[in-house]
Each structure stands twice: as C-alpha cells, then as structure tokens.
Amino acid sequence: MAVATTASRVLGLLREVAAAWLFGATNAKAAYVIAYYLPFFVQRLLLGGTLSIVFIPTISRYLARGELDEARRISGSLFSLVLLAGAAMVVAGLAAAPLLVPLAAPGFAASPGLPELAVRLTRIIFPAMLFLALSVFVTGFLQAHQDFTASALAPLLFNSTIIAGTLLLGPRIGIRGLAIAWIAGTAAQFLVQLPAARRYGLRLGRVDLAHPALRELARLAVPAMLGLAIVEINAYVDRFFASQLPLRPEANPVAVLDYAYEIVQAPAGIFAISIATAVFPLLSRHAATDNHDDLRGTASLALRTLLFVILPVTALVLALREPLVRLLFQRGEFGPVATRAVAATLGGYAVGLPAIAAYYVVTRTYYALQDMVTPVRIGVAMVILNGVLDYALMRVWGVVGIALATSIVSAINVALLLWRLRGRLGRLDGRRIASTALRTGTAAIAAGLLMAAVADAVRPAGLVERSVHVGAAAVIGALVYVGACRLLRVEELRVAFQLLRSPPSRSARAAR
C-alpha cells in the first residue's frame, strides 16, 4: 500500500506540476482551487469519507462472524443509496454554485470576472463528486474484506488521467480543461475498483432503511460526518481568509496556499494515510472484541512508526523548501515570485506536519471504538481557534500566517485527542511514544541542519542541476538520520529492518 500510495502521491505532484506549468499561481488557478474544493467539501461531508469511516467497522463485524450473505445484502443496499444520494447531490450543487462561490471566496469579488469563472468551473466539476463518492464506498468495501490492492492502485489511474487530460485539454480550452480532466479522473478511479468489488459480491441492491445495520450506520453517520467536516471546514476557513488577502497576479494567495498544501499532503498521504488505512480494519476488530490491550498496542506501534518516518521528512521539507518548490513548479507560467511565496507558505505548513500526520492514526482509533463524538467536540473548538489564528496571523505574515495557524491548531488538536484517548484506554504507551519522538526528533534535527547547509552552499540553475542538488541533499540527510538513529538506539529502526527480513506479524509482535 505504501508503494502504491507513494506512486500516487508522486503522480499527484506531477499533476500539480502540469497545472503550474500551464496556469502558474494566477487568478485562474485560484478559481479552479475554489471550484474543485467546493464540491469536494460537500461530497466529503455528505457521502465519501463518512461512509468509509462508519461502514468498515460495521461490515467488518459481519465478516468476522462469517455472515457473508448478510454483509453482501447490507453492502448492496448502501451501494444503491450512495448512487441515489450522489445523483441528488450533483443536481443540488449545480443549482447552488452561484451561492456557494461567494461564501467560499468573498475576496474574489474584488477581481472582475473571477467569481463568474469560479462558478463556471464549479458547475463543470460537481458531477465528478458522484464518481468520487462511489469510489470511496467501493474502497471501504474492499478494505473491509482486507483487499488493499485495487483501492491502492486506483489513485494512480486517477492522477494519470488528470495529467493526460490537463496536457491535452489545457492548451486548447484553458482552465476548463483541468476541470474536465478532474471528472474523467474520478470516473476512472471508481471503474477500476468495480471488478474487484464484484468478485466479493458487491451488487446494487434494494434500499432497506429498516435493516438494523443501516440504522446503526445512520446513527453513527452524523457525528462521523461532523468529525470529517472539521478537517474540511478548517481548510475552507483557510481559503476563506486567503481570498481576502491582496490579489497578486503572479502569486494569488489562494493558489499559493493550495500548492503548499499539496506538497505537505504528499508525505502525509504516503505515510500517515497508508499506516492509518492499513491498521483501521485491525483496530476495528480489536475494538469489536473489547481487546483493549491489542488495540492499544496496535495504535502505539502505528504512532511510533509514523513518527520514525515523518520527522525526517519534516526536516527535509523545512530545510529544502525553496529548492524543492523551484524544482517542482518553477517553469512556464510559474515564476520566481510564486516560488518564493509557495516556499514560505510551505514552511508554515511543514512545522505542523507531524501533527497533521498523527491525526489520521489517532482519529482512526476513535472511529474503531465507534466514538465519533469526542473528535467532533474537540474539533469544533479547533475550528473556532483556527479562524481566530488565521485572522490574527495573516495580518502579520499574510498567507504564511494562515499556514502557520493550521500547524498550531493541528498540534493542539492531536494533543487533546491523545489525552482523551488515554483516559478511554487507561493508558496509551505514552513513555515509549515520547521516547521515540525525542530520539527521532533529535536525529531529524541533525539531518535537517546538514541538508540546509548543503542547500545554502549550492545554487543550481538548470533542471538537471536542481534535481541533483535536491536529491544529493536528501540522500545525505537520510544517511545522517539513519546513523543518528543507530547511535540513539531508536527501536523503530530495528523494527523497520525486521519488517524487511521477516513476516509482518512477527515484527509487529516484537515491536509491541
């Protein structure tokens, strides 16, 4: 899964590289950001993410008891319901687009023609949300059956399709080509998973709202929906405030924020989402049998492994942020002004990367326990705090302040969630987690300082030189990090080597 996710995230960055080459960080790109974010927010809130969070634990219980026919009946009923609800959502979104855009980006009104462009792009992209909702549902169905292959490979086709569509349509019809490519990508992501799901018996079925499992799903869906909405609302709040900053033709704040966010989400997706997704069914089964010892051990191992891999990546992003942005994006319509703006914003996001990544594992533990309420209660306070910090920090540091506010809020959010989880489970293996954080953090700082020194010593010009520059600094940093981890006797380094030599079950037992 990590390999497939890494390839998907690389393609995702290439997708942004293609968009940067054709459209830079201009107003058109900012309109596109709002256009795809609006329907994505609605889809995540009403269908996609909520379904996977509440569906996997429910269907896993039926599968664990061997009730395969009943599991298929529930899945078919919910599949039909998602199809109907998704179609209704698309119709409503097309009609509401002129109302949604001013709410999402009120600052666009200062630029003539920009709100109208965002509305047109929103209407083009909204139908893609039906395919995305169906895709997320099928992904959850496959993962409940412990099949991660098709769902891990589907994003590869998604990003490849968007890249091809962007390069084919972008030069011909402008930013609309990027929106059309998004529809094709989501359709491909759904269709490529469908054959595997059908092999496990997924079919459209009669919608049975009276079934106990569907009533349970409905009961859990509202708090799960609100929990997922917290993350999306915070992202919305960031873009809301960014749209009100002064518009710069070469570096629109909304577009700058989006490019920086895409970069920082790449390692979060490669490592955090891979780990959280892989352990979620296992966490759900431990929770279903009230096996809190194994639940605690699995959650602790996931967090410690995540810290081991995400802290050196954080050091790399901070040390090489400007060379990295220059290598990825600076060509075509994306110039030096945009590079400096995105690199500075990336620094604001990167300091919070460990917390952003840890959030995925911590919340999956709550969802396995079917506790949807606690993340919501804490998250509501975080939305308010995020808005206050966005407003305060952007007045000092502009769009960088908005990114920094996100990092601060993410750290506070995860700390509060861990504190409450400790009370729920009795203990949380806190000393081992803190020890891993301290040791790997020290090693990451040493690696980051050396990478920053290498970056300052060399100023390459061409693409090949930039690639060698960033690659060499990263390799040097990795060697220093591994060496420092050996000196500091970081336990997770040994576990990583065990995973390469022996079955995962034995390595997991040794780690616990």
Q: Is-contact 307 433, C-beta < 8 A?
A: yes
Segment 412-419 shows an average pLDDT of 94
Does the pLDDT value for residue 121 go beyond 70? Answer: yes
Residue 512 pLDDT class (50, 70, 90 cuts): very low
Segment 177-190 shows an average pLDDT of 93
Segment 410-436 shows an average pLDDT of 89
**Which of 36-50, 100-114, 397-411, 416-430 is the least confident region?**
36-50
Q: Is-contact 94 87, C-beta < 8 A?
A: no
Using alpha carbons, list the distances in angstroms from residue 153 to 156, 163, 190, 199, 501: 5, 16, 11, 17, 25
Residue 441 pLDDT class (50, 70, 90 cuts): very high
Q: Is-contact 145 165, C-beta < 8 A?
A: no
Segment 479-508 shows an average pLDDT of 72
Q: Is the dihedral of CA 324, 12, 19, 231 positive or negative?
A: negative
Segment 271-276 shows an average pLDDT of 80
| CA nearest to 16, candidates 42, 38, 36 | 36
Residue 503 pLDDT class (50, 70, 90 cuts): very low
At 250 the three-state DSSP class reads coil
Residue 227 pLDDT class (50, 70, 90 cuts): low
Question: Domain extents for the chain?
Answer: 27-225
Give CA–CA dist 286/425, Å, rounded: 12
Q: According to the model, what pLDDT value does residue 504 have? A: 42
Residues in Cβ contact with 200 at an 8 Å cutoff, skipping those fewer than 6 apart: 72, 141, 142, 145, 147
Residue 360 pLDDT class (50, 70, 90 cuts): confident
Query: Comparing 103 with 46, which gets the higher pLDDT?
Result: 103
Using alpha carbons, list the distances in angstroms from residue 394 to 34, 253, 352, 385, 451: 19, 11, 17, 14, 29
Query: Comparing 425 with 349, which gets the higher pLDDT?
Result: 349
Does the pLDDT value for residue 164 go beyond 80? Answer: yes
| CA nearest to 122, candidates 29, 208, 230, 37 | 37
Q: According to the model, what pLDDT value does residue 379 have? A: 87
Helix (H) or strand (E) holding 496: helix 491-501
Does the pLDDT value for residue 506 go beyond 60? Answer: no
Q: Give the helix ranges, DSSP H, for 145-244.
A: 149-173, 175-199, 212-242
Q: Is-contact 139 197, C-beta < 8 A?
A: no
Residues in Cβ contact with 436 at an 8 Å cutoff, skipping those fewer than 6 apart: 304, 307, 308, 490, 491, 492
Taking each helix axis from N to C terminus, what angle separates 175-199 and 149-173, rounded to the nearest 10 degrees? 160
Does the pLDDT value for residue 386 go beyond 50? Answer: yes
Q: According to the model, what pLDDT value does residue 508 have? A: 43
Give CA–CA dist 223/220, Å, rounded: 6
Segment 1-7 shows an average pLDDT of 73
For residue 215, give both structure tokens. 């009533």
How many CA atoms are closer than 13 Å to the CA of 303, on its beta-carbon side?
A: 28
Give residue for tokens 């968009």. Answer: 19
At 120 the three-state DSSP class reads helix
| CA nearest to 12, candidates 127, 147, 182 | 182
Radius of gyration of the chain (CA): 22
**Which of 108-117, 213-222, 332-341 is the least confident region?**
213-222
Residue 290 falls in which region: left (phi positive, over 0), alpha (psi -120 to 50) or beta? left
Summary mean pLDDT of the chain? 85
Does the pLDDT value for residue 499 go beyond 70? Answer: no
Which segment, 50-64, 152-166, 204-218, is predicted with the most confidence on average? 152-166
Helix (H) or strand (E) holding 465: helix 463-487
Residue 339 pLDDT class (50, 70, 90 cuts): very high
Quote the DSSP letter at residue 130.
H
Give CA–CA dist 153/470, Å, rounded: 28
Looking at residue 174, its amino acid is G
